[in-house]
Chains A and B, each alone.
Chain A
C-alpha cells in the first residue's frame, strides 16, 4: 500500500508543473534540500543501527539497567526520520507499533519491536524472553538501513514530512501514549521536533523568497517547543519522564505543536508539490 503511494508520488513529482504564483520550478529548486535530507536520514539510520546494537546487546545479556538507560536515546534516531521510516510499513509495524495497534494487546504474537521490549523492561523489570525480540529488532533495523540506501526520496514525502512529524507529536506524544511503560516520551517528542525542524531548515531558502511572515511564525513556535523541552532536560543530556511535565507546559506544547502541524501542512502547497 505504502509502496503504491510512493510510486504515484514519484511519478507525479516528475510531471508536476508549478501553478502560477508558485515557485518557478519546484522540482529543480528542491534538488539541494532533498539531497541534504537524504544525507541527514542516512546518518541517523547509521546511528540507529549502532545504538540498536548496543541496546539489544544489553537486553540479551540481561542488563536491565543499561537497556533502560539506552531505550530513550536509541529511539531518537528512529523518531527523527519517521517520515521516511514509515514508508516501509511492514518494518514500521514490527519496529515501532504500540500495544493498542494489536487487538490482543501485549499478548499478540505479532507485537514486536521497541515497545514490546519496553514492556518487558519496565513492566516486568526483566529481560526474560526478550532475546528473540532483540534479535528481530536488530534485523529489522538493518533491513531498514538497506532499504533507505536504495530509496529515491520523493520530494512530496520529504516536504510533507515536516508536518507529518508534528502530527505524530500531536497524536501520541502530547498524551504520553507513545512510551506508556517507560514514560520516556520526551525523547521521542524532541526527536520528532528535530526531524521536522530539519526539513523546515533545509527548505528555508525556497520559502524565504515568498513568505517571510510564515517563516517567522513557524520559527516562533519551534522556539516555544524548544524552550519548554529544555526545562525538562536532565544533567546527563536526557529527559525526565513525561509525568513530570506540568499541566500548563503540556498545554503550551499542545498549542505550539497543533499550530506547527497546521502551518507546516501548507509546505507542500507553498512549494508547488502535488
Chain B
C-alpha cells in the first residue's frame, strides 16, 4: 500500500482531504437544502458522511485458492456475469492475465496515477486520490459456455460444469442467467465494489461485455464478546447462514468446497470450486402477512433467536430429528430439514453459502423487488447444490420465493505468486 504520508493515520489524511473539499461541499449542500441549519452563511465543513476505521482492512490476493470464497463475508457484494469477447486463445489468455493484474492492484489499493488532465483519468476517482483496499476481494469463475468451440477448452471442462436448468419453482429470466465468466466483488462498502467493477470494465472493453449484475448487502451483526458470531438476517427476517460449515476450518473446506488434487476432476481444476448463483426473489409483502407460527414452521427455526424447532435457545444448537420421524416438531418439509436432513450420507451434500440480500426497486404490481442473492461454493455441484435443491423442490417456502436468475460456474484455482495468473492451469492444460 503506497501511502504518501506514513506517519499520519489514514483517517486524519481523509479528514484533511474532506476539509479541502469543505467549501464546495457546503455550497452544494446549501443550494440543495435551503432550510438546512448547517448551511448558514460563513459556515464551512464537509457534508456529513459515515466514518469507517475499516477501510485499510485487506485480503491477500495470491494463494492456493482465490480469496472471496472462505474469506469472511463483508457487508457488500456484487455478482456480475460477463460475455467473453475474445476471439482466440491469445485473447483469452490476455483477459486472464489482465484480470489478475487489475484484481491484485485493486485489492492492494494505492495512489491513483496522475496524468495529463487533457486525457480522461485512468481511474473513476470515486474512492478519491488514494484507493483503500476496504477488504475488497474479486473472485473469478467461468461458465459452461466458455468451454464451447471458441477457445478449444472443451476437453478440459470440469466434469460437472453445466448450464443451469430450471427447477420446478424457477421462473428464470434469460437476461439474468448464465454468462461466460463471473466476477464476485465483496468489500466493506458498495462503493469499493463499484470502483473495482468500473476499473475492470474500463480496462477490458474489447474482452468483456457485462451480461447481468446483481448487488447485495448484509446487515452488520452485534458483537457479543465470548459468544460465537451470529448469522445475519435475510429479507424474510430469518437468520441466514446458521449451520453453515465453518469457513475457517481449512480441512473441512478441503472436503466441502475445494476440488482436491487427484480427484475425478481435471488436474488443472485442483483448488478450484463450483460456484452456484441464484437470484431468488422474495414476496415480502405476502410473507409479512403470514402468521409467525407458520413462518417458523416453514423454516423449521424460530424467527427471533434462530433456534431449531427441535430445541435449544439459539441458532448454534444442532437440529435433532432423531425423535421426530413423523415431523411433529419439525415438519418433514421444513426448509432446514429438507436442505440438510442430517441422515447418514447427507453430509456429502454440505455446501458453503455466501448470501447477500438485494433490493432492486419496485415491480409493476407495486410490490417490492427484493430477495436473496445466493452464492454457493462446493466441490461437487451435483452432490452439493443440485441435490439440495432437488430435495427442496415443492417445499412450502416456495409460495414466498421465486428464483429468477443466476447460473453455474467454476471458480478458478488461485494465483500462487507474481509469476502466476488466474486461469493459467486451464490455458496450459489445453495448450
List A residues at the B interface (Cβ < 8 Å): 19, 21-22, 221, 251-252, 254-256, 258-259, 261-262, 265-266, 268-270, 272-274
**Interchain CA distance A124-B206 in the complex, whole Å:** 40
**Given A251-B83, A255-B85, A274:B118 Cβ within 8 A:** yes
Q: Which residues of A contact B209 (CB under 8 A)?
A: 251, 254-255, 258
Report whether A221 and B206 are in contact in the complex, using a CB–CB cutoff of 8 Å. yes
Cα of A259 to Cα of B94 in the assembled complex, Å: 15
Task: Please measure, in the bound complex, the distance between the C-alpha atom of A255 and the C-alpha atom of B116, giving whole angstroms.
Answer: 27
Bound form: Cα–Cα A262–B118 in Å: 15
Chain B positions within 8 Å of A270 at CB level: 119
Interface of A: prevailing SS: helix
What is the CA–CA distance of A71 and B202 in the complex, to the nearest angstrom?
35
| Complex alpha-carbon distance, A265 and B87, angstroms | 24
User: Which residues from chain A contact B119 at a C-beta distance below 8 Å?
Assistant: 266, 269-270
Q: Is the pair A251, B118 in contact by a Cβ cutoff of 8 Å?
A: no
* Any A CB within 8 A of the CB of B207: yes
Residue B205 is within 8 A (CB to CB) of chain A in the complex: yes
Residues on the B chain within 8 Å of A251, using CB: 83, 85, 209
Q: With the chains together, A266 CA to B122 CA distance in Å?
A: 11
Is B205 a contact of A261 with CB atoms below 8 Å?
yes
Q: A251-B83, A255-B85 are in contact. Are A269 and B205 (CB under 8 A)?
A: no
A80 to B209, CA, bound (A): 26
A-B contact pairs, 14 of them (CB 8 A): A22-B116, A251-B85, A254-B85, A255-B85, A258-B209, A259-B205, A259-B206, A262-B202, A265-B120, A269-B116, A269-B118, A269-B119, A269-B120, A274-B118
A80 to chain B, nearest CB (A): 23
Q: Which positions 116-162 of chain B face chain A at CB distance < 8 Å?
A: 116, 118-120
Q: Please state if A19 and B118 are interface contacts (CB–CB under 8 Å).
A: yes
A268 touches B205 (CB 8 A): no
With contact pairs A269-B118, A272-B118 given, residues A256 and B83 touching in the complex (Cβ less than 8 Å): no
Least CB separation from B83: chain A residue? A251
B206 to A258, Cβ gap below 8 A? yes
Residues of chain B whose beta carbon lies under 8 Å from any beta carbon of chain A: 83, 85, 87, 116, 118-120, 202, 205-207, 209
Query: What's the least CB distance linking A97 to chain B, in Å?
Result: 25
List the A side residues contacting B202 at CB < 8 Å: 262
Alpha-carbon separation in the docked complex, A221 to B85 (Å): 13
A227 to chain B, nearest CB (A): 12
Q: How far is the CB of B65 from chain A (nearest CB, A)?
A: 31
Which of B87, B116, B205 makes the CB contact (< 8 A) with A258? Answer: B205
Instruction: Report the minimal beta-carbon distance from B264 to chain A, rounded to whole angstroms.
Output: 33
The residues of A that contact B83 with a CB separation of less than 8 Å are 251
Name the prevailing secondary structure of the B interface residues. loop
Complex Cα distance, B119 from A18, in Å, reads 13
**Closest residue of B by beta carbon distance from A221:** B206
By beta carbon, the residue of chain B nearest A260 is B205
Residues in B neighbouring A21, C-beta threshold 8 A: 116
Contact A262 B205 (CB under 8 A): yes
Bound Cα distance A256, B202 (Å): 13
- Assembly CA distance A221 to B87 (angstroms): 13
Distance A261 CA – B206 CA, assembled complex (angstroms): 11
Task: Check if B116 sits within 8 Å of A19, measured CB to CB.
Answer: yes
Shortest distance in angstroms between B417's beta carbon and chain A's nearest beta carbon?
Answer: 30
Is the beta-carbon distance between A255 and B206 smaller than 8 angstroms?
yes
Q: A251-B209, A258-B206 are known contacts. Are A273 and B85 too (CB-CB below 8 A)?
A: no
Cβ–Cβ contact A256 & B206, under 8 A: yes
Give the residues in chain B near A268, CB-CB below 8 Å.
118
Tell me, in angstroms, the Cα distance from A269 to B122 when the chains sit together.
13
Q: Which residues of B contact A262 (CB under 8 A)?
A: 202, 205
CB contacts (< 8 Å) of A259 on chain B: these are 205-206
Query: In the complex, which residues of chain A have a beta carbon less than 8 angstroms from the beta carbon of B116?
Result: 19, 21-22, 269
Contact residues in A for B207 (Cβ distance below 8 Å):
255
Query: Assuming A255-B207, A261-B205, what are 16 further A-B pairs, CB within 8 angstroms?
Result: A19-B118, A22-B116, A22-B118, A251-B83, A252-B85, A255-B85, A255-B205, A255-B206, A256-B206, A258-B209, A262-B202, A262-B205, A268-B118, A269-B118, A269-B119, A273-B118
The distance in angstroms between the C-alpha atoms of A252 and B209, with both chains bound, is 9
Q: Which residues of B contact A255 (CB under 8 A)?
A: 85, 205-207, 209
Most buried by B among A19, A252, A258, A270: A258
A25 CB to closest chain B CB (Å) equals: 15
Report chain B residues within 8 Å CB of A258.
Answer: 205-206, 209
**Shortest CB distance B176–A (Å):** 16
Measured CB to CB, the closest approach of chain B to A160, in angstroms, equals 11
Would you give the shortest CB distance from B123 to chain A, in whole angstroms? 14
CA distance A270 to B120 in the complex (A): 11
Contacts of A19 in B (CB 8 A): 116, 118
CB-nearest residue of chain B relative to A273?
Answer: B118
B85 to A, closest residue via Cβ: A255
Q: How far is the CA of A155 from the CA of B206 in the complex (A)?
A: 28
Residue of A nearest to B87 (CB): A252
B359 to chain A, nearest CB (A): 24
B205 contact set on A, CB distance < 8 A: 255, 258-259, 261-262
Closest 5 CB pairs of A and B: A269-B119, A255-B85, A258-B205, A269-B118, A259-B206
Determine the chain A residues whose CB is within 8 A of the CB of B206 once the complex forms: 221, 255-256, 258-259
| Chain B residues positioned under 8 Å from A254 (CB to CB) | 85, 209
| Cα(A259)–Cα(B205), bound, Å | 5
- CA gap between A269 and B87 in the complex, in Å: 30
Give Cα A117–Cα B118 distance, bound, in whole angstroms: 41
Min CB gap B115→A, angstroms: 9
User: What distance in Å separates the Cβ of A207 from its nearest Cβ neighbour in chain B?
Assistant: 14
Distance of A258 Cα from B83 Cα, bound (Å) = 14
Among B116, B119, B120, B206, which residue has the most Cβ atoms of chain A within 10 A? B206
Q: In the docked arrangement, what's the CA distance between A21 and B119, Å?
A: 13
Residues of B within 8 A of A266 (CB): 119-120
Most chain-A Cβ atoms within 10 A of its Cβ — which of B85, B118, B119, B209? Answer: B118
B70 CB to closest chain A CB (Å) equals 34
Complex-state Cα separation, A254 to B118, whole angstroms? 26
Closest Cβ of chain B: how far from A40's Cβ, in Å? 25
Kindly report which residue of chain A lies nearest to residue B120, judged by CB atoms.
A265
A263 to chain B, nearest CB (A): 9
